[in-house]
Structure 1
Amino acid sequence: MNVQKLSIPDVLLITPQKFADERGFFSETWNADKLKAHEVPSTFVQDNQSFSAQKGTVRGLHCQTEPYAQGKLVRVLRGAIWDVAVDIRQGSPTYGQWVAAELSVENWTQIWIPCGFLHGFCALVPNTEVLYKVTASYAKDCERSVRWNDPALALPWPVGAEEAVLSDKDREAPLFNPQDNWFQY
């Protein structure tokens, strides 16, 4: 596996090897022993899968707080996404900063997003499927959202507000408030 630190070094791009032949390919997409050296936890408690029928579908920005804060290992099964993580760990030197990457079935890249980050993504093509492993179960009382296109975050989404396909929850999410103390670093 190729593991690359992003400009926020706790967020990692992970590209597993693919072994292809005339039948197709084989790939080891998760290996706890290999990723332990990069501080990726070995315990995931839930897998989530989403399907976005339309290009421009935006999901996020979401996180969960303690005691159900989630680290996420995200990969694309079909299609492509622009994936973003925003550091909301109070006291972090990169607090309020973001990193993003394109994940696709073609580039076979995954992203590891630890606890303490808002997460969101945009489908770059129709019929996109995303699978992500999480380190804690879903807990509605711990769920938090921030508006996907908050001007204070200035995220360069690949779609504008007119083209974005959003849930009511994401459309009505509050703006980022630096006084929110969801995570201590």
Structure 2
Amino acid sequence: MRFLPTELPGVFVIDVEPKPDDRGLFGRTYCREEFAAHGLCTEWPQCNVSFNTRAGTLRGMHWQAAPHEEAKLVRCTAGAAFDVVADLRVGSPTYRKWIAVEITAANRRAVYIPGGFAHGFQTLADGTELFYQMSAFYVPEAARGVRWDDPALGIAWPPCDARVIAPRDLAFPDLPT
């Protein structure tokens, strides 16, 4: 695996280093020792899957509030997604900055998201599925969100003729000023 740091401290893009042969390929997607060597979470008590029927489905921006922060390791197992991570750690030098990574079943990339960051994505293909490894159990009372198009974040989402967004996500507030 290759761990590629991003402009957001603690957020990594993780590339699989496939070993191809005449049958296909083999590649490691997780190794506790390699994650620990980079100071990343090594315990994943919960895993989730998000299947999205239509291209243009937008989910986010989500996180869990203290003391239930969670790290996430997100990868695309079918289709393609524009994956977004935003720093919501008040006082951080990168507060309100965001990055985006295209993760696809073909590129096998993963995004590591520490606690204190919001996460969301927009699907780029029909039938897109994302697989999440979570460092903490979901706590409904700690679930938080910020509006996907909050001007304070200014996320440049890919153009889309007809986004599919859940009413809950549409109702999220802007960040406080």
Taking structure 2 as the reference length, the TM-score comes to: 0.95
Aligned to 2:91: 91
Match of 1:4 in 2: 4
**Pairing 1:55–2:52 present:** no
TM-superposed deviation, 1:22: 3.0
CA displacement, residues 117-157 of structure 1 (integer Å, 9 cap, x when unaligned): 01000101110010010111000100001111112211000
The yes-or-no answer on 1:129 pairing with 2:129 is yes
Question: Which residue is equivalent to 2:66?
Answer: 66
Structure 1 unaligned regions, length at least 5? 179-185
Structure 2 gaps, min length 5? none
Distance 2:159 2:66 in 1: 32
The equivalent of 1:183 in structure 2 is none
Aligned to 1:37: 37
Read off the aligned partner of 2:17 and give its amino acid letter. Q
Q: CA deviation at 1:19?
A: 2.0
Q: Shift of the alpha carbon at 1:159?
A: 3.3
Q: Which residue of 2 aligns with 1:166?
A: 165
TM-score, L = length of structure 1: 0.91
Deviations for 1:149-183, whole angstroms, at most 9, x for unmatched residues?
Answer: 112211000135x62101110111111224xxxxx
SS, match of residue 89 in structure 1: coil
Question: Residues 74-125 of structure 1, C-alpha deviation per residue, up to 9 Å, x if partnerless?
Answer: 0010111111111011111111111111111121111100000010001011
C-alpha RMSD over aligned residues: 1.2
SS of structure 2 residue aligned to 1:141: helix
Q: How many residues align?
A: 177
The Cα of 1:10 is off from its aligned counterpart by 1.2
For 2:172 and 2:51, the matched residues in 1 are separated by: 21
1-side partners of 2:154 and 2:48: how far apart?
A: 27
Find the aligned partners of 2:133 and 2:104 in 1 and give their Cα distance: 16
Task: Return the letter of the residue paired with 2:170.
Answer: R
Q: Equivalent pairs: percent with the same residue?
A: 38
Q: What amino acid is aligned across from residue 14 of structure 2 in structure 1?
A: I
Alpha-carbon distance in 2 for matches of 1:164, 1:97:
23
Matched, 1:113 2:117: no
Structure 1 residue matching 2:168: 3-state secondary structure: helix
